Structure 1
Amino acid sequence: MPDLLFELFSEEIPARMQAKAADDLRRMVTDRLVAEGLVYEGAKAFATPRRLTLTVHGIPARQSDLKEERRGPRVGGPETAIQGFLKATGLASIDEAKIQRDPKKGDFYVALIEKPGRATLDVLADMLPVIIRTFPWPKSMRWGERSARPSSLQWVRPLHSIVATFGMETEEPDVVNFSVDGITAGQTTFGHRFMAPAAISVRRFEDYETKLQAAKVVLDPQARKDIILAEAKTLAQAQNLELVEDQALLDEVAGLVEWPVVLMGSFDKEFLSIPGEVIRATIRNNQKCFVVSDPKTGKLTNKFILTANIEASDGGKTIIGGNERVIRARLSDAKFFYETDLKIRLEDRLPKFDGIVFHEKLGTQGERIKRIERLAAEIAPLVGADVERTKRAAHLAKADLLTEVVGEFPELQGLMGKYYALAQGEDASVAAASEEHYKPQGPADRVPTDPVSIAVALADKIDTLAGFWAIDEKPTGSKDPYALRRAALGVIRTVLDNNLRMKLSSVLVSPVMRVLDKHVLLTNAEHHSTMRSQLWNAPASHEAALAILSKLLDYGVNPKWLVEEKLAKPILELLAFFADRLKVQLREQGARHDLVDAVFALEGQDDLLMVVRRVEALGKFLDTDDGKNLLAGTKRASNILAIEEKKDKRSYDGAPDPALYSLPEEKALAKAIEQVKVEAGAAIANEDFAGAMGVLAKLRPAVDAFFDKVKVNDDDPKVRENRLKLLNEIRAATRAVADFSKIQD
């Protein structure tokens, strides 16, 4: 079957747009082909700095003929309905329609519509111009004499030519006949801008790719990446050095060249006094070059690797020299910034934060740093961190945001704080926290492991979450401008990976209270300083909040409203958010989200590590026959209770009366429940969740026998009530480990 070759040749396409543009081109063309009934065998798109290319093979030469029967109005129906039917079907008169007999509904007119398929060449001529004009570039432009016309073509960069051929592999292909904004599709493309700029006539993809290769253009982006990486490694190894690989930079550089030529340059050794990350950021950001390290020491050397787009007659000496001059100037600036930063101690920078707004409802960066410092000190004992070191680390952690180097390279925030802290003689754990408190920044990033870093990292993320929940600015749908989902996942990973025991509800109270201090509690300016002092120095507990808030009665404020709406509500909503994020985390690890629901449904389940251990034990238990059968029995009990409680408009809480047991199965179930309550409670107290599940399994025979032999809705109202209470006991006993009603069958 015929193949399509489609190329859009233009001025340089930004590297960051190329991969998506190639994918968009493939998607738009193939989706339209399928919509036209032209099912293809395969398609592949490519991008270089100057072209987007698509090849689609195995396309039918023409559309299939369409035959369709369309049912019309009833015979003898209104004339308007008949005329509408004729217009819709294209029939000249009703005599051209068939009559379909229907003994029940009567006779109907039926039109047989035959629509011959079009040649694929004609279909392509219609669809390709539309795709070009509607192509979804993030940014586009108009150019030339036609640019003033509203109907002129918009493209990412000036479009110069279009290749569009269609035909069988064994035959001369046809040119798809169309034009866009004065550019007519043909068979002509162009090679490398400098080394082979002449026009090239192409027929189909195979000779197109071959001729481009001869004209110094590597069409496939992956092939360009492979060339750059292989040659860069070879150059480095030739001098007993090692390339510092950088996938993002490799992707970008491959989008800047059509014919990659890899060269090595150098810079003055004096610049190696700058931290390696600063050197790398300078060379990477400004010149798109790779750095090289000494494999013996792991430190950077004064070499760099660049990728040119031309085979220079002088072997690249001029290109290397030009890059060396620019890099020397950039590194001089970086060295100046670094040395200037070292002259100012980190703590001396902090007063400037008082004039920088973090968020209009959450105060300045200076206020936020104080909240983080206080919260980190509260968390420190929970994670085994030294309190004073933690307070010092939290105090300095954000200071490098005001340094010259971080101003130039924001991606180095935290890391530079660590270097500056070490340079001014801070404790190693205090310095490390400057870098590690931002972690993890994504699923592939590591979590902090040093106790001081853990405390500051948790305080930073929890303060952010608590603050935005307290002012009711939560993520909605796909919108999360403050990266709150990432912050919550960061807390979860830090807690779980470090096996930390921590009750989130208690930890959340103080940061929420401190936000309330600024926005709710200050109803009387005269008492501002007193209230703030009490709030900021209160223990992190609900009881402390109640005690302080109750004093507001003197100021005409209702403390119950404050606690329920402004303190408890955001904490409960934030705990639910953590539950949702934990579900995401566990689901990615293969766990069932309904088991997380079942555990979180119990009161006080805000110890993330214990929740996960419960979920793991519950999952293993439900994989057994005992677990499956007990789940079925418990759900049956819950369903009966729900029905009867709704009907009776009451609940069946309270202990059943043993004197009303008349059947051995009732007595056996009651005895089993009492035994399970004691043993499961002891196992839970010892955090032996697997043991608690094993205890629950003892309920299975008694539950099965009860439902097999006992009529719950007995004719005697007292017996019925007692048996419903016994069913509630089943539900209560299983709730020692999880809410079984939340578990899916």
Structure 2
Amino acid sequence: MNQAHRDLLVELGTEELPPKGLRRLMESFASQVIAGLDQAELSHADHRCFATPRRLAVLVRGVALQQPTRQIERKGPAWSVAYDAAGQPTQAALGFARSCGVEIEQLCRLETTKGVWLGYRGTEPGRTAAELLPEIIVQALARLPIAKRMRWGDSPAEFVRPVHWLILMLGEEVIPATLLDTVSGNFSRGHRIHHPQPIALREPLEYSDRLHEEGCVIADFEARRERILAQVTHCAEALGAQALWDDALLDEVTALVEWPVALAGTFDETFLRVPPEALISSMQGHQKYFPLRSKADTGLLARFITVANLKSQDPAQVIAGNERVIRPRLADAAFFWDQDRRRPLAERIPQLKHVLFQKQLGSLYDKSARIGALGRHFAADFGVTGDQIERVAWLSKTDLLTEMVGEFPELQGVMGRYYAAHDGEEEAIALALDEGYRPRFAGDPIAASPLGQLLAVAERADTLIGIFALGKTPTGAKDPFALRRAALGLLRTCIEGQRSIDLEALFRLAAELMPAEVDAARQIQPVLQFCLDRLRGLYLERNYPGELFEAVRTLTQQKHLIVDPWDFHRRVMACAEFIQLPEATSLAASNKRIHNILRHAGADDQPFSPVDPEHLEHPEERRLYEAVNALAGEIESQVNAGEYTAALRHLAILREPIDRFFDTVLVMADEPSVRINRLALLACVSQLFLSVADVGWLPTGE
């Protein structure tokens, strides 16, 4: 490698770091170090980041040993002040020379638009990386996303966990520094059990391999994660099963071990009478185990896989220990299951009066009543009965009072479905109790049943209006009531469930149902706008141009249309197909031109008299008039039927007559009757396009 560059290694050795935040800490530490190098103008090549329960590290290839030399220019006193009448330098000039560290002869004349000055031009050597790196690392550590820092011993240093060692190497050299009360060196440490001794590094590039080969530590987070997944998958296949896992569980297990070894254990089959979701939550949430189910997907097996942090000489003892630990956890779940079923959910409804939702919004009982009334009003739109949605609304919060959900909050709704089925509730009602919480997170499917969809919409509408009325709206990155998620869930349910509903009417009724002392009516428009902003973000996230959303939103504002997410979505999708047509660019540009002409004529928002065929003097304006008349009826029928894509495809027929009209016809003719007639014709064309969206917003390729 070039002598002016060296590889950089920074490793911070600590007590066990928080597992759920380890990946984020690792990525943030690396990005902050790189940002510090860039800000200091220390060039570098690529980098790798590392993290285990006891370390954060970053390796940066080819870091410059010194900042580049900089050209500097300093302006001193005015030339007239720098020299006296005899041409001798004054004290001002001599003082300026001393401040620059040069003789007076090395100064120069600087001429600017504001005058002539005494100046200095020279070079300033860059600082060395060894000088700059300690402060870069200090700043990187200070900017890590750590909610609460701790102290240890009598040291004033603060970090997420006590620090025990520090590596700061540039090439083969250790950069002297004391960070977080720890002196830098070139010694790392291996696995607590397999290799507790220090490992002396000769140069940064051997870091990962030496830890792996000598220290029994897989420092690379992604490599360790892949190894765990491979071991778990292999172990499951050997048992003729498949492991249940998600990214969050896999990341957390990866953050708990340095030398992973997957082992399979068993538990008593009698526990399989408990709903599988409860067993899975217990195994994954409490023990970080991977549950197993049959390959034929016939149900959960009485087996699990755990990932140990060492290679034991007696694996059977490790397995037996884990089996002893999981037994009381599963026994608790079984006890909750048996106890909860002794009382039907309906008997718990009065207890909701004693559970506060929000101080000014009442109890969960009050919220359930509001959801039921709101749902009843829109029941026909979802094809369910008012009695069904009211029953679901009253039962929807009752499982929060069960022992199982008290222990496993993530099972709310899921356990409601099981308990309702046990109580003999209607199947659709039991299913809706679970589905009403969907989508629970980004990418989660919406409720599949109409009753579940209505519950999801009504519950979120009540929450949005209520929390907005309390003035607790999201700010920046803070959204403690998950209102953004609630709005997206409501919108996705309407769109993906293909349910037409007037959002403003929904929020108006939700506001009317709020307690009298809460001024919720003022929040209808803010909540509606909040939802539209979320809808715009949803389309951008799915890589649709922002102009498609604006084309439809502008139309709804211009024509005062109701905001119906499903109708809105169909219009956006129609525009998305329309812009793929070869005629789209020309028609969008023509639409903008028509709008501008009508606006400059002061006629863009005024109704015109019908076009008078007798005043159509030019062949091309007659041809356009005939084309518009021929399409108008069919397009109106398609728009009324919600067939927006077909309507826009028919409008593409107008491209040629519109282009020829503008090529040959003077709209602003001298004769008033002719001019007004042509403006009326353009207004007809504009209204045709506005039947689906404001086409002038669509991308034109200009």
Fold conserved between structures, TM > 0.5: yes
Q: Which amino acid aligns with 1:738?
A: A
Is structure 2 residue 543 aligned with structure 1 residue 590? Answer: yes
Partner of 2:87: none
Is structure 2 residue 606 aligned with structure 1 residue 607? Answer: no
Q: Equivalents in 2 of 1:261, 1:125: separation in Å? A: 37
CA offset at residue 78 of structure 1?
7.4
Partner of 1:635: 592
Q: Is the 8 A contact 2:396 2:416 kept in 1?
A: yes
Match of 2:96 among 75, 83, 86: 86
CA offset at residue 346 of structure 1?
0.3
Q: Is the 8 A contact 1:61 1:120 kept in 2?
A: yes
CA offset at residue 366 of structure 1?
0.8
Q: Equivalents in 1 of 2:205, 2:72: separation in Å? A: 40
Unpaired stretches in structure 1, ≥5 consecutive residues? 168-172, 521-565
CA offset at residue 444 of structure 1?
1.5
**CA, structure 1 residues 88+738, in 2 after alignment: closer, same or farther (shift >3 Å)?**
farther
Partner of 2:485: 486
State which drifts further: 52-61 or 228-237: 228-237
Give secondary structure in 2 for the equivalent of 1:321. helix
- Within a 5 Å distance, the mapping from 1:102-501 to structure 2 comes to 107-125=116-134, 127-129=136-138, 131-132=140-141, 136-145=145-154, 147=155, 152-167=156-171, 173-180=172-179, 182-213=181-212, 214-296=214-296, 298-317=298-317, 319-468=318-467, 474-501=473-500
Give secondary structure in 2 for the equivalent of 1:500. coil
Partner of 1:17: 21
Q: Which amino acid aligns with 1:51?
A: R
Q: Is the 8 A contact 1:475 1:484 kept in 2?
A: yes
Q: Deviations over 1:242-289 (max 9, x none)?
A: 322233222112212222232233322222222122122222232222
Q: Is the 8 A contact 1:91 1:97 kept in 2?
A: no
Match of 2:633 among 678, 683, 692: 678
**CA, structure 1 residues 355+203, in 2 after alignment: closer, same or farther (shift >3 Å)?**
same
CA offset at residue 594 of structure 1?
2.2
Q: Equivalents in 2 of 1:673, 1:133: separation in Å? A: 66
**CA, structure 1 residues 135+276, in 2 after alignment: closer, same or farther (shift >3 Å)?**
closer
Q: Equivalents in 2 of 1:654, 1:85: separation in Å? A: 80
Q: Which amino acid aligns with 1:677?
A: A
CA offset at residue 447 of structure 1?
1.4
Q: Equivalents in 2 of 1:686, 1:743: separation in Å? A: 23
Partner of 1:42: 46
Q: Equivalents in 2 of 1:119, 1:352: separation in Å? A: 69
CA offset at residue 717 of structure 1?
5.4
Q: Equivalents in 2 of 1:324, 1:175: separation in Å? A: 47
State which drifts further: 199-208 or 89-98: 89-98
Q: Equivalents in 2 of 1:158, 1:87: separation in Å? A: 51
Q: Is the 8 A contact 1:99 1:107 kept in 2?
A: yes
Q: Deviations over 1:164-221 (max 9, x none)?
A: 2222xxxxx1111222365321122222222221222111234333332222222122
Q: Equivalents in 2 of 1:337, 1:673: separation in Å? A: 70
Q: Is the 8 A contact 1:442 1:486 kept in 2?
A: yes
CA offset at residue 308 of structure 1?
2.1
Q: Equivalents in 1 of 2:297, 2:145: separation in Å? A: 48
CA offset at residue 726 of structure 1?
4.3
Q: Which amino acid aligns with 1:498?
A: G
- Within a 5 Å distance, the mapping from 1:492-511 to structure 2 comes to 492-511=491-510
Q: Is the 8 A contact 1:400 1:416 kept in 2?
A: yes
Q: Deviations over 1:565-585 (max 9, x none)?
A: x75x64454444443333323
Q: Is the 8 A contact 1:488 1:578 kept in 2?
A: yes
Q: Is the 8 A contact 2:82 2:118 kept in 1?
A: no
% same residue:
33
Partner of 2:607: 653
Q: Equivalents in 2 of 1:477, 1:681: separation in Å? A: 43
Q: Which amino acid aligns with 2:551?
A: A
**CA, structure 1 residues 411+125, in 2 after alignment: closer, same or farther (shift >3 Å)?**
closer
Q: Equivalents in 2 of 1:119, 1:586: separation in Å? A: 48
Equivalent pairs counted in the alignment come to 684
CA offset at residue 12 of structure 1?
1.4
Q: Which amino acid aligns with 2:266?
A: S
Q: Which amino acid aligns with 1:389?
A: Q
CA offset at residue 471 of structure 1?
5.9
State which drifts further: 253-262 or 58-67: 58-67
Q: Is the 8 A contact 1:637 1:727 kept in 2?
A: yes
Q: Is the 8 A contact 1:176 1:185 kept in 2?
A: yes
Q: Equivalents in 2 of 1:300, 1:662: separation in Å? A: 78
Q: Which amino acid aligns with 2:186?
A: Q
Match of 2:578 among 604, 613, 621: 621
Q: Which amino acid aligns with 1:139?
A: K
Q: Equivalents in 2 of 1:252, 1:716: separation in Å? A: 78
Give secondary structure in 1 for the equivalent of 2:550. helix
Q: Equivalents in 2 of 1:640, 1:314: separation in Å? A: 86
Q: Is the 8 A contact 1:133 1:154 kept in 2?
A: no
Q: Which amino acid aligns with 2:265?
A: G
State which drifts further: 55-64 or 463-472: 463-472
TM-score, structure 2 as length reference:
0.88
Partner of 1:548: none
CA offset at residue 642 of structure 1?
2.1
Q: Equivalents in 2 of 1:228, 1:88: separation in Å? A: 66
Q: Which amino acid aligns with 1:98?
A: C
Q: Equivalents in 1 of 2:182, 2:467: separation in Å? A: 54
CA offset at residue 631 of structure 1?
2.5
**CA, structure 1 residues 706+240, in 2 after alignment: closer, same or farther (shift >3 Å)?**
closer
Q: Equivalents in 1 of 2:476, 2:240: separation in Å? A: 52
Q: Equivalents in 1 of 2:328, 2:217: separation in Å? A: 32
**CA, structure 1 residues 585+118, in 2 after alignment: closer, same or farther (shift >3 Å)?**
closer
Q: Equivalents in 2 of 1:8, 1:235: separation in Å? A: 34
Q: Equivalents in 2 of 1:246, 1:337: separation in Å? A: 25
CA offset at residue 111 of structure 1?
1.3
Q: Is the 8 A contact 1:89 1:113 kept in 2?
A: no
Partner of 1:76: 80
CA offset at residue 39 of structure 1?
0.8
CA offset at residue 474 of structure 1?
4.3
State which drifts further: 67-76 or 483-492: 67-76
**CA, structure 1 residues 126+504, in 2 after alignment: closer, same or farther (shift >3 Å)?**
closer
Q: Is the 8 A contact 2:159 2:180 kept in 1?
A: no
Q: Is the 8 A contact 1:599 1:605 kept in 2?
A: no
CA offset at residue 341 of structure 1?
0.7
Partner of 2:644: 689
TM-score, structure 1 as length reference:
0.84
Give secondary structure in 2 for the equivalent of 1:193. coil
Q: Equivalents in 2 of 1:622, 1:313: separation in Å? A: 66
**CA, structure 1 residues 729+242, in 2 after alignment: closer, same or farther (shift >3 Å)?**
closer
Q: Is the 8 A contact 2:552 2:572 kept in 1?
A: yes
Is structure 2 residue 65 aligned with structure 1 residue 61? Answer: yes
CA offset at residue 605 of structure 1?
4.4
Give secondary structure in 1 for the equivalent of 2:513. helix
Q: Equivalents in 1 of 2:229, 2:507: separation in Å? A: 48
